[in-house]
């Protein structure tokens, strides 16, 4: 009998918090302080505290968080920024919007994160920053990346859109580099009711620059004086109020995602055709934004799961260097062999904190049937 198991399920979580969310949103609405009011301040304090960071600066999206953080760190025209081609397009568009050029390094074939050795090979006299992406909620190799950055005097802005509360050597992703950029897009581990993002940093100068850039470049405390060019990139007060309600549950949701992942590992063990996601070493933890397996016959498996009511998706089927918008860069496919094969083989299967063991078993059994 077919079951319906979605890839993710926002409704169950939203319904469980509906009353609290409605009253927080209404309070913000009635306060008449619709931008940069007390709810924004409260959420910023609470999100910084949750990550053991000094400063949090909210903004309009994960994409703007990356752009603002890079600009605040002094990255712009004439600079090169090394990042991965195996990510969502906002990683690179945000770099381009600062005026800088991005340069791709290949990924590690096991973790899908930036390959530190290839990062080293891509450094030139113009390189000014690295943007590692903690893809799927698995931390990039931050100890190695920070070592390279230190040796070459580079800034590091972490793309944490998928890595809320993921740990690398017992330290949260987003707190290793000069800044971490988070997304609160509705389907993210901490998702709003609309768009939102935030920058986390321990650096006071970067924090002040981020506050200015998201707010049209205003000099701090001055109404009509501008230190620099910024833009209208603030978070709405209503969104901050909603996110603050949800933030209280983030740690439990993350544990529940980790429990679902453990169930998948149990029920999908010993299927030779499947490579499970890497296990994080001691002191590291992944927050399982998605649960991504790797198989040779990906498209056939994907279709079979869909026929059996199981949601699944490919993050990401087309490496960024093959996107029409980047055709002019003339990147060579053979320079990115690990990205090439990952893009053909990865498949994300249902993952959300409320996913039940019986549904995990149904997904696992359906995958086993496919390989019979
Ligand atoms: C890796 C990555 N970077 C950046 C972003 C951009 O976040 P947003 O959609 O909030 O702009 C996303 C969101 O999908 C993402 O997954």
The domain ranges of the chain are 10-247, 250-371
Pocket test for ligand 1, best of 162, 184, 197 (most atoms within 8 A of CB): 162
Site of tokens 């995958």 = 367
Percent of the chain scoring above 90 in pLDDT: 97
Q: Does this model's pTM top 0.85?
A: yes
Q: For the domain 250-371, what is the CATH code?
A: 3.90.1150.10
Pocket test for ligand 1, best of 91, 136, 162, 183 (most atoms within 8 A of CB): 183
What DSSP designation does 216 have?
T
Q: Which residues pair with 313 in a beta bridge?
A: 348
Query: Any idea which of 79-93, 166-180, 209-223 has the lowest mean pLDDT?
Result: 209-223
Ligand 1 center–CA 184 separation, angstroms: 8
SS3 366: helix
What is the mean pLDDT of the segment spanning 72-90? 98
Q: What is the pLDDT of residues 253-298, one digit of tens each?
A: 999 999 999 999 999 998 999 999 999 999 999 999 999 999 999 9
Q: What's the half-sphere exposure (Cβ side, CA atoms, 13 Å) at 224? A: 0
Identify the residue whose C-alpha is closest to ligand 1 atom 13. Answer: 161
What does each C-alpha distance from 370 to 4, 165, 271, 272 come to in angstroms? 17, 34, 11, 13
Question: What's the CA gap between 329 and 327, in Å, rounded?
Answer: 5
For residue 351, the model assigns a pLDDT of 98
Length of the chain: 372
Domain covering 10-247: architecture: 3-Layer(aba) Sandwich (3.40)
Q: What is the pLDDT of residues 45-62, one digit of tens each?
A: 999 999 999 999 999 999
What is the mean pLDDT of the segment spanning 300-318? 98
Q: Kindly report the average pLDDT of the chain as a whole number.
A: 97
For residue 293, the model assigns a pLDDT of 98
pLDDT category, 223, cuts 50, 70, 90? confident
For residue 101, the model assigns a pLDDT of 98
Ligand 1 center–CA 251 separation, angstroms: 21
87 Cβ inside 6 Å of ligand 1: yes
Whether pLDDT at 1 is above 80: no
What is the mean pLDDT of the segment spanning 341-349? 98
Question: What's the CA gap between 172 and 54, in Å, rounded?
Answer: 13
Strand ranges (E), the chain: 55-59, 80-83, 101-104, 127-131, 155-159, 167-168, 171-172, 179-183, 197-201, 291-294, 346-349
Q: What is the pLDDT of residues 141-163, one digit of tens each?
A: 999 999 999 999 999 999 999 99
pLDDT category, 216, cuts 50, 70, 90? very high
For residue 301, the model assigns a pLDDT of 98
Ligand 1 center–CA 221 separation, angstroms: 30
Identify how many contiguous H helices and E strands the chain contains and give both numbers: 12, 11
What is the mean pLDDT of the segment spanning 333-343? 97
59 Cβ inside 6 Å of ligand 1: no
What does each C-alpha distance from 277 to 11, 261, 264, 350 come to in angstroms? 26, 9, 10, 14
- 33: enclosing H helix or E strand: none
What is the mean pLDDT of the segment spanning 339-363? 98
For residue 158, the model assigns a pLDDT of 98
């Amino acid at each position: 009998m077919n079951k319906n198991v979605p890839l993710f399920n926002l409704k169950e979580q939203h319904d469980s918090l509906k009353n609290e969310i409605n009253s927080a949103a209404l309070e913000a609405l009635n306060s008449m302080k619709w931008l940069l009011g007390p709810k924004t301040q409260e959420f910023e304090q609470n999100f910084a505290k949750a990550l053991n960071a000094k400063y949090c600066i909210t903004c309009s999206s994960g994409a703007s968080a990356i752009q603002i953080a890079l600009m605040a760190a002094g990255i712009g025209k004439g600079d090169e920024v090394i990042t991965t081609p195996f990510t969502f397009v906002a990683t690179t568009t945000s770099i381009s919007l600062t005026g800088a050029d991005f340069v791709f390094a290949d990924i590690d074939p096991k973790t899908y994160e930036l390959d530190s050795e290839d990062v080293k090979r891509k450094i030139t006299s113009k390189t000014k920053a690295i943007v590692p992406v903690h893809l799927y909620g698995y931390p990039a190799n931050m100890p190695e990346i920070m070592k390279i950055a230190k040796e070459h005097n580079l800034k590091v802005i972490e793309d944490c859109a998928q890595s809320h509360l993921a740990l690398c050597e017992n330290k949260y992703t987003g707190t290793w580099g000069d800044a971490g950029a988070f997304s609160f897009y509705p389907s993210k581990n901490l998702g709003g009711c609309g768009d939102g993002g935030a920058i986390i940093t321990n650096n006071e100068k970067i924090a002040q620059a981020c506050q200015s850039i998201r707010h049209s470049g205003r000099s701090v405390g001055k109404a009509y004086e501008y230190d620099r060019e910024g833009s209208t990139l603030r978070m709405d007060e209503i969104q901050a109020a909603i996110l603050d309600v949800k933030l209280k549950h983030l740690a439990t949701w993350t544990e529940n995602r980790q429990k679902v992942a453990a169930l998948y590992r149990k029920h999908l063990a010993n299927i030779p055709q499947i490579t499970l996601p890497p296990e994080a070493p001691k002191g590291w933890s992944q927050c399982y934004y998605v649960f991504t397996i790797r198989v040779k016959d990906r498209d056939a498996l994907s279709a079979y799961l869909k026929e059996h009511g199981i949601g699944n998706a490919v993050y990401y089927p087309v490496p960024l260097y093959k996107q029409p918008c980047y055709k002019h860069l003339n990147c060579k496919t053979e320079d990115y062999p690990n990205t090439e094969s990952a893009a053909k083989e990865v498949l994300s299967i249902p993952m959300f904190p409320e996913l039940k063991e019986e549904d995990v078993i149904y997904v696992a059994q359906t995958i086993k049937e496919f390989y019979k």
